[in-house]
Structure 1
Amino acid sequence: MSGSKLSIRSSASGAAIRQQFLDFYAARGHRILESASLVPEDPTVLLTIAGMLPFKPIFLGQRAAEFDRATTSQKCIRTNDIENVGRTARHHTFFEMLGNFSFGDYFKEQAISWAWELSTEVFKLPPEQLVVSVFREDDEAFAIWRDRIGVPPHRILRMDEVDNFWTSGPTGPCGPCSEIYYDFHPERGDEAIDLEDDSRFIEFYNLVFMQYNRDAEGNLSPLQAQNIDTGLGLERMAQILQQVPNNYETDLIFPIIETAARIAGIDYAQADEIARVSLKVIGDHLRAVVHMITDGITAANVGRGYILRRLIRRVVRHGRLLGIERPFTAEVAETAIALSESAYPAVRTRETAIKNELAREEEQFLKTLARGEKLLAEILARNPQQVSGEAAFELYDTYGFPLELTQEIADESGVSVDVESFEAEMEKQRQRSKDAHETIDLTVQGSLDELAERLQSTEFMGYSQAITESQVEAILIDGAAVEQAEAGAEVQVVLNQTPFYAESGGQIGDRGYLSGDTVLVRIEDVQKEGDFFVHFGRVERGTLRSSTQLTAQIDRACRRRAQANHTATHLLQAALKKLVDESISQAGSLVDFDRLRFDFNCPRSLSPEDVQQVEAQVNTWIAEAHSADVMQLPLAEAKARGATAMFGEKYGDEVRVIDFPGVSMELCGGTHVSNTAEIGVFKIISESGVAAGIRRIEAVAGPAILDYLNSRDRVVRELGDRFKAKPEELVERVTQLQAELKSAQKDLSALQSELALVKSDQLLDQAETMGSVQVIVAQLNVEADGLKVATERLLQKLGDGAVVLGAVPSPGKVSLTAAFSPSVIDQGLKAGQFIGGIAKRCGGGGGGRPNFAQAGGRDESQLPAALEAAKSQLRQALQG
């Protein structure tokens, strides 16, 4: 393709391919399901990386299928080959996997027949341009392709296990697979078919025959229910049908590339390969970012949030490489949204959140780049010979600083970069990423412990009961199961039923007691482990025995506090949506007995007026005494009614809805007051930013308010006693003291500078002639600011020369300065590089301009030696 506007027939568009695939399988009894979220239910995988992942519980036999056949177009994210994005024809971070699935229904012959029919009759691919592969031992599949489909035997290749045997991990469901390849160059003949030749062949359809289970010894046994899992790459089929040289130039991605190219002021068709790679990276990553934010992912420094942040930073970085200096990501995202909204309407619904997140991250990263440039300057000052590969990689990985930019800046200072070591560090990262992402582990992820296999799930009674009669199912001490525990023992207890709420959804677990005729156990915490509750506590008296009946009773006062704080978070979110921004959504929460914390996505910071209005609105709703309506509803109905769900949270088919009509309706499993009036009062104690685009409010509500007020009252009384002022006079008194302190500090600074000048004049007699200039190298024990003034004053008096001063302003702290005249700089000496090397001897570093620089260190004992080294280096450089 030349890079001009796309011109393709409508039947070959990406949207048409997607719909044709789904319609084909729907006509053959498959239920069309919506794409699952990129945030998977499976906690062992950060992101949805394959079309089959949403069906993992079915393949494992952990959940019964509601239907025998399904078909999907599944959004996927993979980052294990991120460095290949834009450099190869078909590597992506975001892609759509078209799939058809059979859960114990049809198997190999039907799957192969339909795949061939779809490829040749619907997509009209010439049979003579298709090649298939099978597992080397799968004679059944080979025979189906040859005898049933009629593929010539020489175009059916038997492949080894590494290529054509799908495994989920060391154990679990597995089986052979068969792949269909498209041949771009059939004119080259069939004598030596090499499927590794990417320039000729592209694998577009993979059929996995899940027919075995592999045990821990590696033995294979037939599965009771044989399943089919297939995947057809939408982007790859679009490349084939649209007859373009790579996936990026299809109508699924190329419009995004065109938008970026327009902003950069370049023509894709005329651009060099380096620029094209950057444009492709932007096109790919923007698609990924748009769908990740749509599914509730926000940028962070860990987990999937880090992946999002890394992708956004790569977009910004490649924009800079193209010469784009202004913010541009939100503008390009508009094109990505427009391309996706017909198939995925949520991207348009979340448009504001997408663009706000991009704008925030882009602004933040541009500042980060500035910090990276500063760090690179310090690196150059510390080691003027070469930038190590490790340092260059840290700049790249931590600050998103491209290697090319590091090399360019280093070259300006006459310093090389250890590219070989950089590539070694890069390879280590690639391997770590590959190890973490390349397989989907379908094995059961480690049982909680042996008890989990025999224990029944704990029945939670705590919504309606504060006391239950419960049987002790298990006792653990230090994680080991025991039959009994004596007084004084720290224990974990599992009951058959419990009134204790287990920590979940941000709400802390209940406290209380387990009691019998002769035994008392104080419960300090409750955690949910799988389907049962673990009560953490201490045996206060008697002997706790397994299989006995006890009375389980929660601390009602603690429960009331938690209920008030939890309900307050619901009212708080409703107030924020109403008064600040409708797009606000919960990013996390903590509900404790004495406080609450609410983290939320917000496109802007909150003013003091915003905080005051939100607090007032919550208290208004409390005073209005709104009653709670608690319902169990089907998830779809709850959402249709407008219930707020937390992005990224996984819900079952039935959900618990907490509704305060006209105020707040949320999906929530926590405990709540029955009427807002029970909260009493609500007070915000702090509001702050905790990450890019994430704000945090901390507050207290209900009975905890009294504790908060008493604490503040004690502080005010103590301050009043110390400052001899009434509470209402404290602000004025502190303001006065601050003004006095600032004035005193200003006077002190002026005196220190004067002292430094007086001391520095005494150093003029120590000036030494080196070559044609005068040089002073000495220790002058004054404050850092005074050292700077003294250095500049001495150089001014010398007229033409160099001054290097060192000081120990406080124990464990070394300050160094250097000032060079133009004639010294002309001889190849730069103050920034020079002083950085000297400071390194004192365990520090620094840098600055060629004519003046400052540095610091920690080892004061090395200052005399460092100054002596400075004098020696200057003498060698200036006397030649």
Structure 2
Amino acid sequence: MTSSELRSLYLKFFESKGHAIIPSASLIPENDPTVLFTTAGMHPLVPYLLGEKHPAGTRLTDVQKCVRTGDIDEVGDASHCTFFEMLGNWSLGDYFKKEAIAWSFEFLTSEEYLGIPKDKLYFTCFAGDENAPRDEESHDFWRSMGVEESHIFYLPKENNWWGPAGVTGPCGPDTEMFIDTGKPACGPDCSPACDCGKYLEIWNDVFMQYNKKEDGTFEPLAHKNVDTGMGLDRTICILQGKKSVYDTDVFSGILETISELSDGKHYGDDEETTRAFRIVADHIRCATFILGDRNGVTPSNVDQGYVLRRLIRRAIRFAGTLGIAEGQLSKVAEKVIEQYKDVYPELEENREKILSELNLEEERFQKTIKQGMKEFEKLVTYLKENVIPGKSAFRLYDTFGFPVEFTVELARERGFSVDMEGYEAAFKKHQEKSHAGAEQRFKGGLADTGEQTAKLHTATHLLLACLKKVLDPNIIQKGSNITAERLRFDFNFPRPVTKEELAEIEKLVNQAIAEKIPVVCEELPIEEARKAGATGIFDSKYGDVVKVYTIEGWSKEICGGPHAANTGDLGSFKIKKEQSSSAGVRRIKAVIAAPEA
């Protein structure tokens, strides 16, 4: 079975069970300040898990593109990837454990679908704790499917509990499905909780039946939800009988392109070469999706842009070890676009941006390397001993972007060594500071900040309307990101916006706020929404029935996010910054202040 066949089969199966197929949401969360990227299928659906009505109904299924970069340094081994696709099906207050478990079992074992032998499957259920009882219900449903008792394990919260996505929000016990890899048990207590490799997780059914509150207590949700996730890359690896996701059809074409560009190197030549192939393949695939996303960002020194820059530069560095010439990585991105464009058409639509940004970042990185070389030469000139201090090596990395591997290599050539313990200590200290800062900036979950983000979302609609009035009626949204503190909005415009124009835009937005206009939401078939004059360049992401938010006299937009009930709730609007985002795209950052009592 190919990855394309698995995607199609999964969606068709759940469509046959009454689920509406919805498109993947953006990789850049529009309304969730708790994460930089969409890291799970449930993130874009949190408002609906909390009770908001989804225009497609109460049964949904999708393939969600995701990015997780917490283990970026582990990429290169057999299993870690930064970008992946998550197959999911959802019940929003509709069916619950019985149906979810029965359908999971049918899809896994039926010859019509995956046809995995029943005796190779194992299952886990929540063991219970002081906050929630033992999940005997899931256990009993698996037994009713004919699963042997010896194939079911009760595990604690660290293994069988999901959520919340932030500090507060929807969460609950889960039941997980594993396949026996055939490896021997590591001991008498061997279970799916082990890391011995005998059991490999293939699917996860989360039963969201609680809401975690700020005080740490759990309350039952008014509507119980089901959130499931099956990783496409990992599942196809199992189905194709491969030892690594990089050995599957997901990566085969990309790896072939890297080989063609390399200096006679091939995937599998040796451990070091294989690792470099995997890093380049994974990082360029991930960077291509981030750049090509409808809310796509560009390389920078903060937030998503920083992660993107790190991915590209790490790919460039390892491409160099394979003998790939400067400026050739865009050809790897072209292969990614070719492979995925039918599933994710935004990649083809943003092809020019993806390739140009990759080439630009490579040019910048080469300049960084030259600057780092100069600083390195200065450093070794003044050293009294032949050991480069860890703090100095970290400064080269942190201030000049000079990879520590380059420092070690150059030092070795000159008869120096590097105090790596000191470097690791400085790096760890920096990480702790960054982590603390991120926690401060992204603290809380969507449930904590929903009201503020809803107001900022409404302010974004007003901003777009006023940009069209003041600058050009053909302006469209090129990207949007909202945290609890500010909105960030990207739009097509060929030049910097003048101070006078910004003042006029700000004045108009505040005029719309002062008029205290109701924000009216309607659910309409997409064609009817278009006929009514609703705009929305990204309307294909919402499905056949869409939500249209109207601010009479100002804006009528197709949108999936939460909104204020009245423009008067926004208080006051202030533009904080206007700058370039990428070629032909400008970016505005703005804030709102609470209305005066």
TM-score (norm 1): 0.53
Determine the structure 1 residue equivalent to 2:286: 288
Superimposed CA distance per residue, residues 552-573 of structure 1 (whole angstroms, 9 cap, x where no aligned partner): xxxxxxxxxxx7x864521696
> Aligned equivalents of 1:597 and 1:383: distance in 2?
57
8 Å CA contact 1:26–1:32 kept in 2: the answer is yes
**How far apart are 1:125 and its partner, in Å?**
1.3
Once the two structures are superposed, the pairs formed by residues 89-168 of structure 1 within 5 Å of their partners are: 89-121=78-110, 122-137=113-128, 138-168=134-164
1:51 and 2:9 are equivalent in the alignment: no
1:178 and 2:168 are equivalent in the alignment: no
Q: Please, which of 64, 69, 83 is the counterpart of residue 59 of structure 2?
A: 69
Q: Please, which of 6, 9, 15 is the counterpart of residue 26 of structure 1?
A: 15
Determine the structure 2 residue equivalent to 1:249: 247
> Aligned equivalents of 1:693 and 1:569: distance in 2?
18
Superimposed CA distance per residue, residues 20-61 of structure 1 (whole angstroms, 9 cap, x where no aligned partner): 111111100111001111122224132211101111101122
8 Å CA contact 1:173–1:211 kept in 2: the answer is yes
Q: Do the aligned partners of residues 106 and 81 (structure 1) sit closer, same or farther apart at CA in structure 2, a change above 3 Å counting? A: same
Q: Name which of structure 1's ranges 419-428 and 122-131 shifts more when overlaid on structure 2.
A: 419-428
8 Å CA contact 2:580–2:587 kept in 1: the answer is no
**How far apart are 1:322 and its partner, in Å?**
2.1
Return the letter of the residue paired with 2:171. Answer: C
Superimposed CA distance per residue, residues 43-95 of structure 1 (whole angstroms, 9 cap, x where no aligned partner): 413221110111110112244564111000000111111111112x2221110
8 Å CA contact 2:261–2:325 kept in 1: the answer is no
8 Å CA contact 1:645–1:667 kept in 2: the answer is no
Determine the structure 1 residue equivalent to 2:269: 271
> Aligned equivalents of 1:91 and 1:198: distance in 2?
16
Identity over aligned pairs, percent: 33
> Aligned equivalents of 2:460 and 2:61: distance in 1?
38
8 Å CA contact 1:59–1:173 kept in 2: the answer is yes
**How far apart are 1:281 and its partner, in Å?**
1.1
Once the two structures are superposed, the pairs formed by residues 565-604 of structure 1 within 5 Å of their partners are: 567=469, 569-570=471-472, 585-586=492-493, 590=497, 592-593=499-500
Superimposed CA distance per residue, residues 548-600 of structure 1 (whole angstroms, 9 cap, x where no aligned partner): xxxxxxxxxxxxxxx7x8645216969xxxxxxxxx935997575466899xx
Return the letter of the residue paired with 1:148. Answer: S
Q: Do the aligned partners of residues 586 and 51 (structure 1) sit closer, same or farther apart at CA in structure 2, a change above 3 Å counting? A: farther
SS of the aligned residue for 2:332 comes to: helix
Once the two structures are superposed, the pairs formed by residues 331-350 of structure 1 within 5 Å of their partners are: 331-350=331-350
SS of the aligned residue for 1:221 comes to: strand
> Aligned equivalents of 2:184 and 2:450: distance in 1?
56
Once the two structures are superposed, the pairs formed by residues 387-426 of structure 1 within 5 Å of their partners are: 387-397=388-398, 399-426=400-427
Q: Do the aligned partners of residues 666 and 429 (structure 1) sit closer, same or farther apart at CA in structure 2, a change above 3 Å counting? A: farther
1:653 and 2:547 are equivalent in the alignment: yes
> Aligned equivalents of 2:435 and 2:149: distance in 1?
35
Return the letter of the residue paired with 2:170. Answer: P
> Aligned equivalents of 1:325 and 1:185: distance in 2?
42
Q: Do the aligned partners of residues 167 and 272 (structure 1) sit closer, same or farther apart at CA in structure 2, a change above 3 Å counting? A: same
SS of the aligned residue for 1:47 comes to: coil
Return the letter of the residue paired with 1:179. Answer: E
Return the letter of the residue paired with 2:246. Answer: Y
Determine the structure 2 residue equivalent to 1:297: 297
Q: Do the aligned partners of residues 697 and 235 (structure 1) sit closer, same or farther apart at CA in structure 2, a change above 3 Å counting? A: closer
> Aligned equivalents of 2:310 and 2:212: distance in 1?
37
8 Å CA contact 1:146–1:153 kept in 2: the answer is no
Return the letter of the residue paired with 1:310. Answer: R
1:505 and 2:425 are equivalent in the alignment: no
> Aligned equivalents of 1:27 and 1:589: distance in 2?
51
> Aligned equivalents of 1:567 and 1:171: distance in 2?
40
What stretches of structure 1 of length at least 5 have no aligned partner? Answer: 1-11, 461-500, 508-562, 575-583, 599-631, 660-664, 670-687, 699-880
> Aligned equivalents of 1:642 and 1:263: distance in 2?
47
8 Å CA contact 1:570–1:666 kept in 2: the answer is no
Determine the structure 2 residue equivalent to 1:544: none
> Aligned equivalents of 2:147 and 2:470: distance in 1?
67
Determine the structure 1 residue equivalent to 2:595: none
Determine the structure 2 residue equivalent to 1:720: none
**How far apart are 1:287 and its partner, in Å?**
1.5
SS of the aligned residue for 1:252 comes to: helix
> Aligned equivalents of 2:402 and 2:58: distance in 1?
50
Q: Do the aligned partners of residues 503 and 245 (structure 1) sit closer, same or farther apart at CA in structure 2, a change above 3 Å counting? A: closer
8 Å CA contact 1:135–1:165 kept in 2: the answer is yes
Q: Which has the higher contact order (CA 8 A, sep 6+)?
A: 2
> Aligned equivalents of 2:244 and 2:302: distance in 1?
33
**How far apart are 1:211 and its partner, in Å?**
1.0
Superimposed CA distance per residue, residues 618-676 of structure 1 (whole angstroms, 9 cap, x where no aligned partner): xxxxxxxxxxxxxx9979558899968499x99x83267999xxxxx99799xxxxxxx
Once the two structures are superposed, the pairs formed by residues 536-685 of structure 1 within 5 Å of their partners are: 567=469, 569-570=471-472, 585-586=492-493, 590=497, 592-593=499-500, 645=537, 653-654=547-548
Determine the structure 2 residue equivalent to 1:81: 71
Q: Do the aligned partners of residues 110 and 643 (structure 1) sit closer, same or farther apart at CA in structure 2, a change above 3 Å counting? A: closer
Once the two structures are superposed, the pairs formed by residues 319-334 of structure 1 within 5 Å of their partners are: 319-334=319-334
Q: Which has the larger radius of gyration?
A: 1
* RMSD, aligned CA: 4.2
**How far apart are 1:246 and its partner, in Å?**
0.8
> Aligned equivalents of 1:206 and 1:334: distance in 2?
33
SS of the aligned residue for 1:39 comes to: coil
Q: Do the aligned partners of residues 55 and 566 (structure 1) sit closer, same or farther apart at CA in structure 2, a change above 3 Å counting? A: closer
Q: Do the aligned partners of residues 381 and 506 (structure 1) sit closer, same or farther apart at CA in structure 2, a change above 3 Å counting? A: farther
Q: Which has the higher strand share?
A: 1
8 Å CA contact 1:211–1:225 kept in 2: the answer is yes
8 Å CA contact 2:255–2:267 kept in 1: the answer is no
Once the two structures are superposed, the pairs formed by residues 433-582 of structure 1 within 5 Å of their partners are: 442-446=445-449, 505=463, 567=469, 569-570=471-472
8 Å CA contact 1:597–1:697 kept in 2: the answer is no
8 Å CA contact 2:167–2:443 kept in 1: the answer is no
8 Å CA contact 1:330–1:355 kept in 2: the answer is yes
Q: Do the aligned partners of residues 256 and 588 (structure 1) sit closer, same or farther apart at CA in structure 2, a change above 3 Å counting? A: farther
8 Å CA contact 2:32–2:445 kept in 1: the answer is no
Determine the structure 2 residue equivalent to 1:204: 202
8 Å CA contact 1:506–1:590 kept in 2: the answer is no
**How far apart are 1:220 and its partner, in Å?**
2.7
8 Å CA contact 1:256–1:335 kept in 2: the answer is yes
**How far apart are 1:115 and its partner, in Å?**
0.9
Determine the structure 2 residue equivalent to 1:227: 225
TM-score (norm 2): 0.76
Superimposed CA distance per residue, residues 774-808 of structure 1 (whole angstroms, 9 cap, x where no aligned partner): xxxxxxxxxxxxxxxxxxxxxxxxxxxxxxxxxxx
**How far apart are 1:209 and its partner, in Å?**
0.8
Return the letter of the residue paired with 2:218. Answer: L
8 Å CA contact 2:13–2:107 kept in 1: the answer is yes
8 Å CA contact 2:184–2:198 kept in 1: the answer is no
8 Å CA contact 1:129–1:186 kept in 2: the answer is no
Q: Do the aligned partners of residues 163 and 251 (structure 1) sit closer, same or farther apart at CA in structure 2, a change above 3 Å counting? A: same
Q: Do the aligned partners of residues 348 and 566 (structure 1) sit closer, same or farther apart at CA in structure 2, a change above 3 Å counting? A: closer
SS of the aligned residue for 2:81 comes to: coil
Q: Do the aligned partners of residues 566 and 589 (structure 1) sit closer, same or farther apart at CA in structure 2, a change above 3 Å counting? A: farther
**How many residue pairs are counted as aligned between the two chains?**
517
8 Å CA contact 1:60–1:442 kept in 2: the answer is no
Q: Do the aligned partners of residues 141 and 418 (structure 1) sit closer, same or farther apart at CA in structure 2, a change above 3 Å counting? A: farther
> Aligned equivalents of 1:245 and 1:502: distance in 2?
47
> Aligned equivalents of 1:597 and 1:424: distance in 2?
51
SS of the aligned residue for 2:174 comes to: strand
